[in-house]
A and B are shown apart, each in its own frame.
Chain A
Amino acid sequence: MAATTLPAGTTEAGLRPDSNETTPRGARWWRELGWRHVVTWAVLVFCFIPILYVLSSSLNPTGSLTGSNKLFSSISFQNYVELLTDPVHPYVRWFANTIVIATTTSIGTVLLGAAAAYAFSRFRFRGRRGGLLSLLLLQMFPQVLAYVAIFLLLVTLREVFPAIGLGSPLGLILVYLGGALGVNTYLMYGFFNTVPKELDEAAKIDGASHAQIFFSIILRLVAPILAVVGLLSFVGVFSDFLIASIVLVDPESQTLAVGLYQYVSQRFSEYWGVFAAGAVLAAIPVVLLFQFLQRYIVSGLTQGAVKG
């Protein structure tokens, strides 16, 4: 493979003094850039085999595990039709529920986490170090471990405030927001620290209040980390099975994770194709979100603000 890339003018690239400005060619290209492509392709194969496999299974009309081994041997949307028209398993409802719950949770998580990270990064107060440490320790006790207690808490809440008790999507969102501070604060705190404090101070001299500094300056500069945290939270909620399965009991109000799992556990072997179709559709919104937010993640906003 290396031989095919070598012949292009090696000497030219090697001699060029300002090679920083142009793309190197030949052996130099290979040394600087080419191997990166090879390595990336190798990892991509590892990444995409399961995905191609599940995509192919979803399009395979035989629908069983054995019948799915020849990738894309035949194409049909039969599994998708079966998935969307199944009256016992309201896939479309699950889909809508999941999007609403995951979006609300991720927005809430970003706001709560960013506010806390701002406090820890910009203010010096008593118990700051202790607070950070307690947050990290609390995070070590995942909500999954406490699911009996969460269940009992929500049973009690259902009697007092049905809107946030057991069986309510809002109740589930609040449970998720309870976990918002732990690891997210940490991730954001590290990033907030990389934004120069001189910016805050300059704004302060100009008469900005702390709230204006936070909402108008800091939040814009840390947009990449907000995108990352929003995404992580969205994906986490999207995939959560255990807590969602406890809180949402009514089939109509369930999320994709709970609904599809039940679908799979009841009819795993012979309905492999329908399960695959459900998995493919479930993955689409998250993949799209990733593509959309990439731009924000990639741009280095901090630099631009200091310079301009």
Chain B
Amino acid sequence: MTDTSTRPDRTDAPAPPPPPGSPRPTGSWWSRQDLTRGFWVKTVLVALVDALGVYGILAAGALGQWGIVAFLVVALVVVNVVYFSKRMLPAKYLVPGLIFLLVYQVFVVLYTGFTAFTNYGDGHNSTQADAVEAILVQNEVRLPDSPTYPLTVVVNGDELGFAVVDGEGDAELGTAEEPLEPVDATLENGRVASVDGWETLQFAQVLERQDEIFALRVPISDDPNDGSVRTPDGSTGYVYVSTMEWDEAAGTITNTTTGQVYTADEEQGAFVASDGSQLGTGWKVFVGFDNFTRVFTDSTLAGPFVGVLLWTFAFAILSVVLTFGLGLFMAIVLNHPKVRGRKIYRSLLIVPYAFPAFLTALVWQGMLNRDFGFVNATLLGGASIPWLTDPWLAKISVLVVNLWLGFPYMFLICTGALQSIPNEIYEAGKIDGAKPLRLFRSLTMPLLLVSTAPLLISSFAFNFNNFNVVYLLTEGGPDDLSAPVDVGATDILITFVYRLAFGGVNRQYGLACAVSILIFLIVASISAATFSKTRALEDLH
């Protein structure tokens, strides 16, 4: 891996002295003037970046986002050092892309890894305090002997609020976010008529927004145990109090109607009763390798996982082979300079590529419909072949649609690569008496593979996770009804995960991230192994 660093740096090779008598080309378009102009452009750009960065540091600092502050400080220092140093040439070209890569690719990958070790998901998406509040709010009921308050609905911009008159005749105002607070208001007939900065809603306006108003709850204080004010009619406020009671010191929630006590369990991130039952809302905690071991040990997951894994490999490999095969074949067919209209052919062949992939999948879904689809009804004269509902035919359909989608890309790549091969090489080969097949095997293919081999690996990786084509065409189906979980004949890993973790009501981000990491490990190790082979190809060049 270090062999390249010992190679002589060709771009830094000493320039041979100019031949005596010949003047240096000072008047050309890369004169010194341009150099200084370039310097100023650079300075202005870096200054802009610095200004944005400093603004970012201040904004993030004000909100206490110290991670962002640290990243920005480091990034700014790196940018300034790199661009005003005389050395570090490669860095000048790599830094802009690397910054984006670090934030939106590397960080995101690491964060996915972090989430894989948590129970993050529906019901476990925040802190314990948020969970407590949610549980209390969900269980609020109107007190049977609730005091009633004369209530006025007020609005400020888009935000609705309640202005009430409390037992002592003082006005208080609150919103969904802000608990009730005393406020200066004009009272009329024992109710609030107007508040500074707020507009009072008239009866007709209340009717217009009645759904929002009936859903609004204004907390009485910061303590969720105190309950809230709500209104069923827009003019009278009632106090609602939760049937759950939070005891912060003991870490327990008590159901005041049944007397059941739920204790905070830090291992599971949930409130658990002595009989094992849990409250629906919990909080996010670390669960170690639980998500990973579940995939292999949980009997409902492990069986389908192996089948899906095998089909994923078959799908990815066959997709690459078929698309590259057809793409390269068509590139060669049209690479003959005397084929009339080859420009038009080329434009037409890449038209499928221009069709947005997700639309293509939906169009094919319509075309392959067993009863009304174009393929059965028109092309096959009224046949009723179950293209998408038979396990094997569905697999073939997915591959064919993916071939339709993918071969123009390979055609484009191969055409580009073929055109970058200089004609002189072929002429030399022909002079040496090589036949076309020999030219193809010994010249075209090696040169083509130098530039396309990494792309084939990427294509494999892409198809390994080709969510769109599988999900939008078959939704992973036809489903295997005998399996204990939702799994179908065309499910690849990523659609399997999607259905497992996102398809149902209960989203399990932690589990999904864990399987994402597994997918990554599989694809990465295969790619790394293949990539080391392509080094040999590069050395050929």
Chain A positions near chain B (C-beta within 8 angstroms): 23-24, 32-33, 36-37, 39-40, 43-44, 46-51, 53-54, 57, 65-66, 68-71, 111-113, 115-116, 118-120, 122-126, 128-131, 133, 135-146, 148-150, 152-153, 156, 159-161, 174-175, 177-183, 185-187, 190-191, 193-194, 197, 200-201, 203-212, 214, 216, 224-225, 228, 231-232, 235, 238-239, 241-242, 256-257, 260-261, 264, 268, 272, 275-276, 279, 282-283, 286-287, 289-291, 294, 297-298, 300, 302-303
Contact = CB atoms under 8 A, between A and B. Distances in A.
Given A39-B333, A144-B494, A235-B354, A139 B458 contact: yes
B356 A256 contact: yes
A183 to B, nearest CB: 5
A142 B96 CA distance: 20
Contacts of B350: 290
A179 B104 CA distance: 7
B454 interface: yes
A264 to B, nearest CB: 6
A141 B343 CA distance: 36
Contact of B359 (A46, A228, A279): A279
A210 B86 CA distance: 11
Interface of B: 1-5, 7, 9-11, 13, 15-16, 24-25, 28-31, 34-35, 38, 56, 59-60, 63, 65, 68, 89-94, 96-98, 100-101, 103-109, 111-112, 115, 120, 326, 329-330, 333-334, 336, 338-340, 343, 345-360, 362-364, 366-367, 369, 372-374, 377-379, 404, 408-409, 412-413, 415-417, 419-420, 422-423, 450-452, 454-455, 457-458, 461-462, 465, 467-468, 494, 509, 512-513, 516, 519-520, 523-524, 527-528, 531, 541
17 contacts: A37-B339, A43-B330, A50-B360, A50-B363, A51-B355, A53-B363, A119-B94, A143-B104, A153-B103, A153-B107, A207-B30, A210-B89, A228-B413, A239-B358, A290-B354, A294-B343, A298-B343
A136 B531 contact: yes
Interchain residue pairs A-B with the least CB separation, the first 4: A178-B104, A190-B451, A119-B93, A149-B111
Given A133-B531, A181-B101, A264 B362 contact: yes
A32 B531 contact: no
A13 B289 CA distance: 74
A283 B457 CA distance: 28
B364 A50 contact: yes
A43 B326 contact: yes
A112 B96 contact: yes
B144 to A, nearest CB: 41
> Residue among A148, A153, A185, A287 with the most chain B CB within 10 A?
A148
Given A53-B363, A241-B358, 8 more contacts: A43-B326, A136-B457, A190-B417, A194-B420, A206-B30, A235-B356, A283-B354, A286-B356
A136 B454 contact: yes
Nearest to A65: B372
A174 B100 contact: yes
Nearest to A47: B352
Contact of A44 (B56, B94, B329, B349): B349
B334 A141 contact: no
Contacts of B513: 148-149
A56 B94 CA distance: 48
Contacts of A69: 372, 374, 377-378
Contact of A138 (B109, B379, B423): B109
Contact of B105 (A143, A291, A303): A143
A57 B364 CA distance: 13
A302 B422 contact: yes
Contacts of B541: 193
Which of B115, B351, B360, B420 is packed against the most chain A CB atoms within 10 Å?
B420
Contact of B34 (A49, A153, A212): A212
Contacts of A264: 362
A125 B90 CA distance: 7
Contacts of B422: 302-303
Contact of B362 (A130, A185, A275): A275
Contacts of B5: 124-126, 128
B419 A112 contact: no
B461 A140 contact: yes
A205 B28 CA distance: 13
Nearest to A286: B354
A179 B105 contact: yes
Given A138-B109, A200-B11, A235-B353, A180 B524 contact: no
A279 B355 contact: yes
